[in-house]
Structure 1
Protein backbone atom coordinates (compact mmCIF):
# COMPACT_ATOMS: atom_id res chain seq x y z
CA UNK A 1 0.00 0.00 0.00
CA UNK A 2 1.22 3.49 -0.83
CA UNK A 3 2.10 5.96 1.87
CA UNK A 4 -0.06 9.03 2.43
CA UNK A 5 2.65 11.23 0.91
CA UNK A 6 2.82 9.06 -2.19
CA UNK A 7 -0.96 9.15 -2.59
CA UNK A 8 -1.01 12.92 -2.19
CA UNK A 9 1.75 13.23 -4.78
CA UNK A 10 -0.15 10.94 -7.14
CA UNK A 11 -3.32 13.02 -6.74
CA UNK A 12 -1.42 16.25 -7.34
CA UNK A 13 0.12 14.84 -10.50
CA UNK A 14 -3.25 13.46 -11.63
CA UNK A 15 -4.82 16.92 -11.25
CA UNK A 16 -2.09 18.40 -13.42
CA UNK A 17 -2.62 15.69 -16.02
CA UNK A 18 -6.41 16.19 -15.96
CA UNK A 19 -5.92 19.93 -16.49
CA UNK A 20 -3.72 19.18 -19.49
CA UNK A 21 -6.13 16.64 -21.00
CA UNK A 22 -9.13 18.92 -20.53
CA UNK A 23 -7.17 21.74 -22.15
CA UNK A 24 -6.60 19.38 -25.08
CA UNK A 25 -10.32 18.62 -25.33
CA UNK A 26 -11.06 22.35 -25.17
CA UNK A 27 -8.52 23.06 -27.92
CA UNK A 28 -9.88 20.29 -30.15
CA UNK A 29 -13.46 21.50 -29.75
CA UNK A 30 -12.29 25.06 -30.36
CA UNK A 31 -10.59 24.03 -33.59
CA UNK A 32 -13.86 22.50 -34.83
CA UNK A 33 -15.77 25.74 -34.22
CA UNK A 34 -12.93 28.15 -35.06
CA UNK A 35 -12.49 29.51 -31.52
CA UNK A 36 -9.27 29.87 -29.58
CA UNK A 37 -8.72 28.74 -26.00
CA UNK A 38 -9.51 32.18 -24.55
CA UNK A 39 -12.80 32.39 -26.45
CA UNK A 40 -13.69 28.85 -25.35
CA UNK A 41 -12.91 29.73 -21.73
CA UNK A 42 -15.07 32.84 -21.99
CA UNK A 43 -17.93 30.90 -23.55
CA UNK A 44 -17.77 28.42 -20.67
CA UNK A 45 -17.61 31.22 -18.10
CA UNK A 46 -20.57 33.02 -19.68
CA UNK A 47 -22.60 29.80 -19.78
CA UNK A 48 -22.01 29.31 -16.04
CA UNK A 49 -22.63 32.92 -14.98
CA UNK A 50 -25.24 34.08 -17.50
CA UNK A 51 -26.64 36.54 -17.65
CA UNK A 52 -23.52 38.48 -16.72
CA UNK A 53 -21.95 41.80 -17.63
CA UNK A 54 -18.71 42.64 -19.41
CA UNK A 55 -17.53 44.30 -16.19
CA UNK A 56 -18.17 41.15 -14.18
CA UNK A 57 -16.28 39.13 -16.78
CA UNK A 58 -13.34 41.55 -16.59
CA UNK A 59 -13.29 41.28 -12.80
CA UNK A 60 -13.55 37.49 -12.84
CA UNK A 61 -10.83 36.99 -15.44
CA UNK A 62 -8.53 39.85 -14.46
CA UNK A 63 -8.50 41.05 -18.07
CA UNK A 64 -8.91 44.67 -19.08
CA UNK A 65 -12.36 45.86 -20.17
CA UNK A 66 -10.98 46.53 -23.67
CA UNK A 67 -9.68 42.96 -23.94
CA UNK A 68 -13.01 41.57 -22.72
CA UNK A 69 -14.85 43.69 -25.30
CA UNK A 70 -12.68 42.27 -28.09
CA UNK A 71 -13.33 38.70 -26.96
CA UNK A 72 -17.06 39.36 -26.68
CA UNK A 73 -17.05 40.93 -30.16
CA UNK A 74 -15.51 37.77 -31.62
CA UNK A 75 -17.99 35.53 -29.79
CA UNK A 76 -20.96 37.68 -30.81
CA UNK A 77 -19.83 37.86 -34.45
CA UNK A 78 -19.56 34.07 -34.45
CA UNK A 79 -23.10 33.70 -33.14
CA UNK A 80 -22.03 32.27 -29.77
CA UNK A 81 -23.30 35.00 -27.46
CA UNK A 82 -25.65 37.95 -27.48
CA UNK A 83 -25.44 41.29 -25.71
CA UNK A 84 -28.61 43.07 -24.68
CA UNK A 85 -29.49 46.08 -22.61
CA UNK A 86 -30.72 45.26 -19.09
CA UNK A 87 -34.42 46.13 -19.00
CA UNK A 88 -34.10 47.23 -15.36
CA UNK A 89 -31.05 49.44 -16.00
CA UNK A 90 -30.61 50.50 -19.63
CA UNK A 91 -27.03 51.59 -18.92
CA UNK A 92 -26.05 47.99 -18.21
CA UNK A 93 -25.30 45.42 -20.93
CA UNK A 94 -26.04 41.77 -20.21
CA UNK A 95 -24.15 38.95 -21.92
CA UNK A 96 -25.77 35.55 -22.46
CA UNK A 97 -25.12 32.41 -24.48
CA UNK A 98 -26.81 32.19 -27.88
CA UNK A 99 -28.65 28.88 -27.63
CA UNK A 100 -28.85 28.35 -31.41
CA UNK A 101 -25.24 27.14 -31.39
CA UNK A 102 -25.45 25.07 -28.18
CA UNK A 103 -26.26 21.79 -29.99
CA UNK A 104 -23.03 22.14 -31.95
CA UNK A 105 -21.00 22.21 -28.75
CA UNK A 106 -23.12 19.46 -27.23
CA UNK A 107 -22.27 17.21 -30.15
CA UNK A 108 -18.55 17.97 -29.89
CA UNK A 109 -18.41 17.51 -26.11
CA UNK A 110 -20.75 14.51 -26.21
CA UNK A 111 -18.04 11.85 -26.21
CA UNK A 112 -16.21 13.37 -23.25
CA UNK A 113 -19.44 13.88 -21.31
CA UNK A 114 -20.49 10.27 -21.94
CA UNK A 115 -17.13 9.01 -20.70
CA UNK A 116 -17.40 11.21 -17.60
CA UNK A 117 -20.90 9.88 -16.93
CA UNK A 118 -19.65 6.28 -17.22
CA UNK A 119 -16.84 7.00 -14.76
CA UNK A 120 -19.15 8.69 -12.25
CA UNK A 121 -21.61 5.78 -12.43
CA UNK A 122 -18.91 3.55 -10.88
CA UNK A 123 -19.06 5.45 -7.56
CA UNK A 124 -21.56 5.31 -4.72
CA UNK A 125 -23.49 8.41 -3.70
CA UNK A 126 -21.24 8.76 -0.66
CA UNK A 127 -18.10 8.55 -2.79
CA UNK A 128 -19.53 11.11 -5.21
CA UNK A 129 -20.14 13.46 -2.27
CA UNK A 130 -16.47 13.11 -1.27
CA UNK A 131 -15.31 13.72 -4.85
CA UNK A 132 -17.58 16.75 -5.23
CA UNK A 133 -16.36 18.17 -1.92
CA UNK A 134 -12.74 17.64 -2.93
CA UNK A 135 -13.24 19.37 -6.28
CA UNK A 136 -15.04 22.31 -4.65
CA UNK A 137 -12.10 22.74 -2.27
CA UNK A 138 -9.62 22.58 -5.17
CA UNK A 139 -11.71 25.17 -7.07
CA UNK A 140 -11.81 27.44 -4.01
CA UNK A 141 -8.06 27.06 -3.44
CA UNK A 142 -7.48 28.05 -7.06
CA UNK A 143 -9.71 31.10 -6.68
CA UNK A 144 -7.89 32.11 -3.51
CA UNK A 145 -4.52 31.70 -5.23
CA UNK A 146 -5.67 33.89 -8.12
CA UNK A 147 -6.75 36.60 -5.67
CA UNK A 148 -3.40 36.41 -3.84
CA UNK A 149 -1.40 36.58 -7.07
CA UNK A 150 -3.41 39.55 -8.34
CA UNK A 151 -2.99 41.34 -5.02
CA UNK A 152 0.77 40.80 -5.13
CA UNK A 153 0.88 42.55 -8.53
CA UNK A 154 -0.99 45.61 -7.26
Structure 2
Protein backbone atom coordinates (compact mmCIF):
# COMPACT_ATOMS: atom_id res chain seq x y z
CA UNK A 1 0.00 0.00 0.00
CA UNK A 2 1.25 3.52 -0.81
CA UNK A 3 2.06 5.34 2.43
CA UNK A 4 1.46 8.76 0.82
CA UNK A 5 -2.17 7.96 0.07
CA UNK A 6 -3.56 8.77 3.56
CA UNK A 7 -1.68 12.07 3.57
CA UNK A 8 -2.88 12.92 0.08
CA UNK A 9 -6.47 12.13 1.04
CA UNK A 10 -6.13 14.29 4.14
CA UNK A 11 -4.69 17.14 2.08
CA UNK A 12 -7.53 16.81 -0.44
CA UNK A 13 -10.14 16.95 2.36
CA UNK A 14 -8.42 19.99 3.89
CA UNK A 15 -8.31 21.68 0.48
CA UNK A 16 -12.02 20.96 -0.08
CA UNK A 17 -12.91 22.37 3.35
CA UNK A 18 -10.92 25.53 2.65
CA UNK A 19 -12.50 25.94 -0.77
CA UNK A 20 -15.95 25.50 0.77
CA UNK A 21 -15.15 28.10 3.45
CA UNK A 22 -14.24 30.57 0.71
CA UNK A 23 -17.44 29.84 -1.21
CA UNK A 24 -19.48 30.22 1.98
CA UNK A 25 -17.68 33.47 2.74
CA UNK A 26 -18.46 34.79 -0.73
CA UNK A 27 -22.14 33.88 -0.29
CA UNK A 28 -22.21 35.65 3.08
CA UNK A 29 -20.49 38.67 1.56
CA UNK A 30 -22.96 38.75 -1.30
CA UNK A 31 -25.90 38.76 1.11
CA UNK A 32 -24.37 41.41 3.36
CA UNK A 33 -23.55 43.73 0.46
CA UNK A 34 -27.06 43.25 -0.94
CA UNK A 35 -28.52 44.16 2.46
CA UNK A 36 -26.27 47.21 2.72
CA UNK A 37 -27.24 48.33 -0.78
CA UNK A 38 -30.89 47.85 0.10
CA UNK A 39 -30.48 50.01 3.22
CA UNK A 40 -28.65 52.72 1.30
CA UNK A 41 -31.31 52.60 -1.41
CA UNK A 42 -34.05 52.96 1.19
CA UNK A 43 -32.34 56.07 2.60
CA UNK A 44 -32.10 57.78 -0.79
CA UNK A 45 -35.27 56.32 -2.36
CA UNK A 46 -33.51 54.17 -4.96
CA UNK A 47 -34.11 50.60 -6.03
CA UNK A 48 -31.33 48.03 -5.93
CA UNK A 49 -31.07 48.08 -9.75
CA UNK A 50 -30.84 51.88 -9.64
CA UNK A 51 -27.87 51.69 -7.27
CA UNK A 52 -26.17 49.09 -9.44
CA UNK A 53 -26.55 51.31 -12.51
CA UNK A 54 -25.27 54.36 -10.62
CA UNK A 55 -22.25 52.34 -9.51
CA UNK A 56 -21.57 51.20 -13.08
CA UNK A 57 -21.89 54.74 -14.45
CA UNK A 58 -19.60 55.98 -11.69
CA UNK A 59 -16.99 53.32 -12.46
CA UNK A 60 -17.20 53.14 -16.27
CA UNK A 61 -18.84 56.39 -17.30
CA UNK A 62 -19.50 58.36 -19.16
CA UNK A 63 -21.03 55.34 -20.83
CA UNK A 64 -23.56 54.73 -23.56
CA UNK A 65 -26.90 53.17 -22.62
CA UNK A 66 -26.24 50.04 -24.69
CA UNK A 67 -22.91 49.41 -22.98
CA UNK A 68 -24.49 50.14 -19.60
CA UNK A 69 -27.34 47.71 -20.27
CA UNK A 70 -24.81 45.02 -21.20
CA UNK A 71 -22.68 45.63 -18.08
CA UNK A 72 -25.79 45.64 -15.88
CA UNK A 73 -27.24 42.54 -17.56
CA UNK A 74 -30.46 44.42 -18.30
CA UNK A 75 -32.70 44.58 -21.33
CA UNK A 76 -32.27 48.00 -23.02
CA UNK A 77 -35.94 48.86 -22.46
CA UNK A 78 -35.59 48.11 -18.75
CA UNK A 79 -32.49 50.28 -18.60
CA UNK A 80 -34.34 53.15 -20.29
CA UNK A 81 -36.88 53.11 -17.47
CA UNK A 82 -34.12 53.08 -14.87
CA UNK A 83 -32.29 55.96 -16.58
CA UNK A 84 -35.52 57.97 -16.80
CA UNK A 85 -36.03 57.48 -13.06
CA UNK A 86 -32.39 58.31 -12.24
CA UNK A 87 -32.44 61.40 -14.42
CA UNK A 88 -35.67 62.64 -12.80
CA UNK A 89 -34.04 62.11 -9.40
CA UNK A 90 -30.97 64.12 -10.40
CA UNK A 91 -28.60 61.13 -10.17
CA UNK A 92 -27.49 61.01 -13.80
CA UNK A 93 -27.63 63.15 -16.91
CA UNK A 94 -27.76 62.07 -20.53
CA UNK A 95 -25.54 64.15 -22.77
CA UNK A 96 -24.67 64.01 -26.46
CA UNK A 97 -21.67 61.86 -27.29
CA UNK A 98 -19.02 64.28 -28.61
CA UNK A 99 -17.68 61.65 -31.01
CA UNK A 100 -21.10 60.61 -32.39
CA UNK A 101 -23.87 63.19 -32.44
CA UNK A 102 -26.51 60.47 -32.86
CA UNK A 103 -25.56 58.79 -29.58
CA UNK A 104 -25.79 59.80 -25.94
CA UNK A 105 -23.64 59.18 -22.90
CA UNK A 106 -24.80 58.72 -19.34
CA UNK A 107 -22.88 60.69 -16.72
CA UNK A 108 -23.14 60.64 -12.95
CA UNK A 109 -24.02 63.86 -11.13
CA UNK A 110 -20.99 64.40 -8.88
CA UNK A 111 -22.93 65.88 -5.96
CA UNK A 112 -25.18 62.85 -5.87
CA UNK A 113 -22.18 60.53 -6.16
CA UNK A 114 -20.75 62.24 -3.08
CA UNK A 115 -24.04 61.68 -1.26
CA UNK A 116 -23.80 57.95 -1.90
CA UNK A 117 -20.10 57.86 -1.01
CA UNK A 118 -20.95 59.33 2.39
CA UNK A 119 -23.45 56.53 2.97
CA UNK A 120 -20.79 53.90 2.24
CA UNK A 121 -18.07 55.67 4.25
CA UNK A 122 -18.54 53.42 7.28
CA UNK A 123 -17.89 50.33 5.20
CA UNK A 124 -14.96 51.97 3.41
CA UNK A 125 -13.34 52.93 6.71
CA UNK A 126 -13.90 49.44 8.12
CA UNK A 127 -12.41 47.91 4.96
CA UNK A 128 -9.32 50.08 5.37
CA UNK A 129 -8.97 48.53 8.82
CA UNK A 130 -9.41 45.00 7.48
CA UNK A 131 -6.82 45.60 4.75
CA UNK A 132 -4.37 47.05 7.29
CA UNK A 133 -4.13 43.58 8.84
CA UNK A 134 -2.61 42.12 5.65
CA UNK A 135 0.83 42.41 4.10
CA UNK A 136 1.10 43.96 0.63
CA UNK A 137 1.78 40.57 -0.96
CA UNK A 138 -1.36 39.18 0.65
CA UNK A 139 -3.41 42.15 -0.60
CA UNK A 140 -2.12 41.53 -4.12
CA UNK A 141 -3.27 37.91 -3.84
CA UNK A 142 -6.68 38.92 -2.43
CA UNK A 143 -7.17 41.53 -5.16
CA UNK A 144 -6.28 38.95 -7.81
CA UNK A 145 -8.68 36.44 -6.27
CA UNK A 146 -11.53 38.97 -6.24
CA UNK A 147 -10.90 40.05 -9.83
CA UNK A 148 -10.79 36.45 -11.02
CA UNK A 149 -13.92 35.63 -9.00
CA UNK A 150 -15.75 38.60 -10.54
CA UNK A 151 -14.65 37.45 -14.00
CA UNK A 152 -15.93 33.88 -13.58
CA UNK A 153 -19.12 35.22 -12.00
CA UNK A 154 -19.68 37.41 -15.06
CA UNK A 155 -19.14 34.41 -17.35
CA UNK A 156 -21.65 32.35 -15.32
CA UNK A 157 -24.14 35.23 -15.54
CA UNK A 158 -23.66 35.55 -19.30
CA UNK A 159 -24.03 31.79 -19.74
CA UNK A 160 -27.34 31.80 -17.84
CA UNK A 161 -28.58 34.80 -19.81
CA UNK A 162 -27.89 32.97 -23.07
CA UNK A 163 -29.67 29.76 -22.06
Which bracket does the TM-score occupy, shorter chain normalised? over 0.9
* Structure 2 CA distance for aligned equivalents of residues 103 and 148 of structure 1: 35
* Structure 1 CA distance for aligned equivalents of residues 158 and 150 of structure 2: 13
Structure 1 stretch displaced more, 63-72 or 120-129: 63-72
Residue pair 2:56, 2:72 contacting (<8 A) in 1 also: no
1:134 matched to 2:145: yes
Residue matched to 1:99: 110
Residue matched to 1:73: 84
Residue matched to 2:5: none
* Structure 2 CA distance for aligned equivalents of residues 76 and 97 of structure 1: 9
* Structure 1 CA distance for aligned equivalents of residues 139 and 50 of structure 2: 31
* Structure 2 CA distance for aligned equivalents of residues 107 and 133 of structure 1: 27
- Runs of 4+ in structure 1 off by over 6 angstroms are none
State the 1:145 CA deviation: 0.8
Residue pair 2:95, 2:106 contacting (<8 A) in 1 also: yes
Give unmatched runs, 5+ long, in structure 1: none
Using a 3 Å threshold, how does the CA distance of structure 1 residues 101 and 62 change in structure 2: closer, same or farther?
A: closer
Q: Which secondary structure state, in structure 1, belongs to the residue aligned with residue 63 of structure 2?
A: coil
State the 1:8 CA deviation: 0.9
Aligned pairs (5 A) from 1:34-113: 34-113=45-124
TM-score (norm 2): 0.89
TM-score (norm 1): 0.94
* Structure 1 CA distance for aligned equivalents of residues 43 and 73 of structure 2: 27
* Structure 2 CA distance for aligned equivalents of residues 151 and 105 of structure 1: 33
What's the RMSD between the two structures over aligned residues? 1.4
Aligned pairs (5 A) from 1:16-35: 16-35=27-46
Give unmatched runs, 5+ long, in structure 2: 1-10
Between Structure 1 and Structure 2, whose CA radius of gyration is higher?
Answer: 2
